[in-house]
Structure 1
Amino acid sequence: MPGIFTISLDLELFWGVRDSRSFGDYEANLNGERDAILGILDMFEAHGIHATWATLGFLFFKDIAELKQHLPRVLPDYRHSQLSSYRYIDERTWGDDDAYHFAPETIELIRSRAGQEIGTHTFSHYYCLEEGQTIESFRADLQAAVAIAKDRGIPITSLVFPRNQGNPAYLPVLEELGIVCYRGNENASFYQPRNKREQSAWVRALRLVDAYVNLSGYNTYSLEECARSRPFNISASRFLRPYSRSLAPLESLRLHRIKRALHDAATGHRLFHLWWHPHNFGADVKQNLAFLQKILVYYNQLNQRYGMQPCNMGEVAALLECRHAG
């Protein structure tokens, strides 16, 4: 089996940052996000890349009125209520900013492109490790996400936990709802799932340094590792951090870090899983797309030399199913 290059993107618009950012301080990212998505899709098509777009259930609706007709019966009761997207729905004054919250046309654009899978990022950007929420409210939230996708003719088989808050106790719910794989976290201690309170400055600093210097290893995986249990854990290898003006002199280190891990996967017949949010690219679309282009050109070289293959999460899961059954 050749090496595998997997990409997943967390498609969430403002819902994914609304508890930590304001429109004002994130406006550039939000305004540039759709241009970034179009550029990413064109680049994927040019380089033959298959990817999973883990899409928030809320984005399937055309406006707030339609969304309110599909809210789940059981809602999360977070100890810190500002974490709840459902509370946000009720408390904000809705105006002419639907483009920051809803994207049915973008979802249709993505699914029209070859090799692109629509996965789920839960219905409401649900936090599985925050105090107060329960497995019952998680199940209701995820049921709503699967239902709206099904209503649009999209079967959901892949999931990405918001804020990477994977909760092992909740994995049986995925199987109940027909979700066969999820994106787990890297193995290093500073990547382990944490709730918001546990995200210390020290943890964030280690992750930042790891983007440029090899602290955590290559984080590539054999298919045997991924196939050990169901639902399948197709773990992350590297977060594609966005371009930073202040860190621009270190761009060559950031690229080298990714290329070395890709090479390890290609030569070792392993899987490399790159991920990011489309809104990460929104503030500096040109620079971010140029960096992605360098990664994809290098992937094409590995494809030609070692036969490395592009697979979205659903396609990886299909390969794992064969190994798990064996």
Structure 2
Amino acid sequence: MPGIFTISLDLELYWGVRDSRSFSDYEANLHGERDAIRGILDLFQAHDVHATWATIGFLFFKDIDELRKHLPRVLPDYRRHQLSSYRYIDEHTWGDDDVYHFAPDTIELIRSCAGQEIGTHTFSHYYCLEEGQTIESFRADLQAAMEVAEARGIPITSLVFPRNQGNPAYLPVLDELRIASYRGNENASFYKPRNKQGQSALVRALRLLDAYINLSGYNTYSLEECARKRPFNIPASRFLRPYSHSLASLDSLRLRRIKRAMRDAAIGNRLFHLWWHPHNFGADVKHNLAFLQNILAYYDQLNQRYGMQSCNMGEVAVVLERMHVG
């Protein structure tokens, strides 16, 4: 099997940042997100790139009234109440901002494009490592996410844990609900799953530095390693950080860091998994799409020279299942 280039995107709108950023502080990103999504899809189609869009279940609804009718029976009781999207539903003053909370039209656009998989990012942007929540409330949340997707003819087989809070104790729930794969974290200690309190300034600084300088290695993975057990862990290799005016002079380093890891995967018949949020691109769509174009053009070169293939997470899971059974 040749090397695999995997992309996953965490589709959240405001639900993914509402507990950490005010709407006014993040409005530029949210306002430009749909333009970014259209641009990303255009690039994916031009380069025949397949990707998984891990989508919050709330986004499938047209408005708050429809969402309220489909809430799970068991809700998480986070110790830090501001983490709960369910509390936000009751506390938010609903007006003309539905476009930043709901996106059935965007989901249909993504779904209509070849090679694009709709995965799940849980129903409510559920945090699996925060105090107060339980496996029962996680199961109810995830079931709700799968039901709303399946009601629209979209089977869910791939999951991305919000904030990368993968909880090993919850993996049997994925197997129970027939979710074939999830995106795990990189191996370095500063990437290990943490709750919000564990995100220290040092951890964030090391992750930022690692985007430009090789601190954690290439983070590419053998398919045999990924196929060891179900549900299959298709780990992250690199977060695609958005354009920053203050760090623009270092963008050549950021691109080189990604390209070297991609090449390692292509030559060694390994897997490279790139991920980001569409809203990351929203504040500076042009620069971010240009950077992505450079990455995808390099993928074209690796495809032609080494046979590297682009697969979404669902497609990777099919390959891993064959290896697992064999």
Q: TM-score range by the shorter chain?
A: over 0.9
CA distance in 1, matches of 2:235, 2:109: 27
CA distance in 2 between partners of 1:58 and 1:177 (Å)? 19
Shift, 1:178, TM fit = 1.1
Aligned to 1:56: 56
Secondary structure, counterpart of 1:273 in structure 2: strand
The answer to whether residue 2 in structure 2 is matched with residue 2 in structure 1 is: yes
The 5 A counterparts of 1:112-123 are 112-123=112-123
Report the equivalent of 1:236: 236
DSSP-derived class of the 1:76 partner: coil
Secondary structure of 1:82's counterpart equals helix
1:275 maps onto 2:282 in alignment: no
- Is residue 305 from structure 1 mapped to residue 305 from structure 2 by the alignment? yes
User: What is the CA distance between 1:130 and its match in structure 2?
Assistant: 0.1
Task: Output the amino acid matched with 2:2.
Answer: P
Distance of 2:319 and 2:116 partners within structure 1? 17
> Does 2:27 correspond to 1:19?
no
Q: Distance in 1 between matches of 2:87 and 2:11?
A: 21
Query: Alpha-carbon deviation of 1:29?
Result: 0.1
Counterparts of 1:323 and 1:177, CA distance in 2:
21
Equivalents in 2 of 1:165, 1:104: separation in Å? 26
Cross-structure match for 1:314: 314
Q: Which runs of 5+ in 2 are unaligned?
A: none
Instruction: Note the alpha carbon deviations across 1:83-119, whole angstroms, 9 max, x for none.
Output: 0000000011100000000000000000000000000
Does residue 101 (structure 1) correspond to residue 93 (structure 2)? The answer is no
Tell me which residue corresponds to 1:253.
Answer: 253
Q: What residue is the counterpart of 1:201 in the other structure?
A: 201
Q: How do 1:18-167 and structure 2 match up within 5 A?
A: 18-167=18-167
Residue deviations 1:48-86 (CA, integer Å, cap 9, x gap): 000000000000000000000000000000000000000
Cα deviation 1:245-299 (Å, max 9, x = unaligned): 0000000000000000000000000000000000000000000000000000000
Equivalenced residue count is 326
Tell me, what secondary structure is at the counterpart of 1:284? helix
- Determine the C-alpha separation between the residues in 2 that align with 1:130 and 1:224: 32
| AA aligned opposite 2:102 | F
Give the secondary structure class of the aligned counterpart of 2:280: helix
TM-score of the aligned structures, taking structure 1 as reference length? 1.00
| Partner Cα distance (2:152, 2:90) in 1 | 26
Gaps of 5+ in 1: none
1:153 deviates by 0.2
Q: Percent identity?
A: 84
The alignment partner of 2:53 has SS state of strand
Return the TM-score normalized by structure 2: 1.00
* 1-structure distance, mates of 2:267, 2:143: 40
Q: Give, in angstroms, the shift of residue 5 of structure 1.
A: 0.1
Shift of 1:148: 0.2
Alpha-carbon distance in 1 for matches of 2:236, 2:82: 28
